[in-house]
Amino acid sequence: MKKKIFFIVNHASFFVSHRLPIAIAAKKENYEILIIFGKPSSLKTEDESIKEILKSGINFKQLNFNNQGIFRIFDLFGLMQLIYLILKHKPYIIHSISPIANFISSIAIIFFKKTPLVISISGMGYLFTDNNFFKKYLSYFYLLIFKNISKKNNLSIILQNNDDYNYFHNNYKLFDKIVLIKGSGIDLTLYKNVDFTLKKNYVVLPARLIKEKGIMEFIYSAVRIKKQIKNWKFIIIGQDDYKSPSLINLNILNFNQKESFEFRNYDKNLNKILIDASIVCLPSYREGMPKVLLEASAAGCAIITTNTIGCREAIINGYSGELIKVRDIDSLTLMILKFINNKKLRMKYGNNARKYAFKNYSINSVIKTHLNIYKNFYE
Distance, CA of 78 to CA of 114 (rounded, Å): 22
Instruction: Answer with the residue of higher pLDDT: 374 or 100.
Output: 374
Helix, coil or strand: residue 239:
coil
Which residue type occupies 46? Answer: E
Instruction: Answer with the residue of higher pLDDT: 379 or 245.
Output: 245
Topology match between the domains 3-185+362-376 and 188-360: yes
pLDDT tens digit string along 78-102? 888 999 999 999 999 999 998 888 8
Confidence (pLDDT) at 70 = 47
Q: Are 207 and 292 in contact (CB under 8 A)?
A: yes
10 Å Cβ neighbour count for 57? Answer: 9
Confidence (pLDDT) at 76 = 77
**378 φψ region: left (φ > 0), alpha (ψ -120 to 50), beta (else):** alpha
Hey, what's the torsion of the CAs at 45, 20, 282, 251, to 10 degrees? 10
Distance, CA of 193 to CA of 198 (rounded, Å): 11
Residue ranges in the chain assigned as alpha helix (H):
12-18, 20-28, 43-56, 76-89, 99-108, 133-149, 162-172, 215-226, 255-258, 270-276, 291-298, 311-314, 329-340, 343-360, 363-376
pTM above 0.95, yes or no: no
CATH 3.40.1010.10 fits 3-185+362-376, yes or no: no
Confidence (pLDDT) at 138 = 61
Q: Are 217 and 195 in contact (CB under 8 A)?
A: no
Instruction: Answer with the residue of higher pLDDT: 71 or 122.
Output: 122
* pLDDT above 60 (res 126): no
Among residues 179, 7, 9, the alpha carbon closest in space to that of 98 is found at 9
Confidence (pLDDT) at 174 = 73
* pLDDT above 60 (res 69): no
For the chain, give the mean pLDDT: 89
The 3 state secondary structure assigned to 286-310 is: CCCCCHHHHHHHHCCCEEEEECCCC
Helix, coil or strand: residue 60:
strand
Nearest-5° Cα angle at 40, 38 to 46: 120
pLDDT tens digit string along 254-291? 887 989 999 998 888 899 999 999 999 999 999 989 99
Mutual angle of helices 20-28 and 43-56, in 10-degree steps: 10
Beta bridge partners of 302: 279
| Residue 228 burial (C-beta neighbours within 10 Å; 0-12, 13-18, 19+) | exposed
* pLDDT above 60 (res 167): yes
* pLDDT above 70 (res 133): no
The residues, any chain, with a CB within 8 Å of residue 86's CB and separated by 6 or more, are: 6, 94, 108, 111, 112, 115
| Residue 328 burial (C-beta neighbours within 10 Å; 0-12, 13-18, 19+) | middle
Average pLDDT of the residues in 297-326? 97
Among residues 107, 36, 39, 37, the alpha carbon closest in space to that of 68 is found at 39
Mutual angle of helices 215-226 and 329-340, in 10-degree steps: 50
Confidence (pLDDT) at 44 = 76
Instruction: Answer with the residue of higher pLDDT: 129 or 215.
Output: 215
Q: Are 214 and 306 in contact (CB under 8 A)?
A: yes
Q: Provide the residue ranges of all domains of the chain, joining segments of one domain with +.
A: 3-185+362-376, 188-360
The size of the chain, in residues, is: 379
Measure the N-to-C terminal CA separation of the chain; round to a whole number of Å.
Answer: 16
Which backbone phi and psi does 100 adopt, to 5 degrees?
-65, -40
Helix, coil or strand: residue 107:
helix
Q: Which CATH superfamily does the domain covering 188-360 fall into?
A: Glycogen Phosphorylase B; (3.40.50.2000)
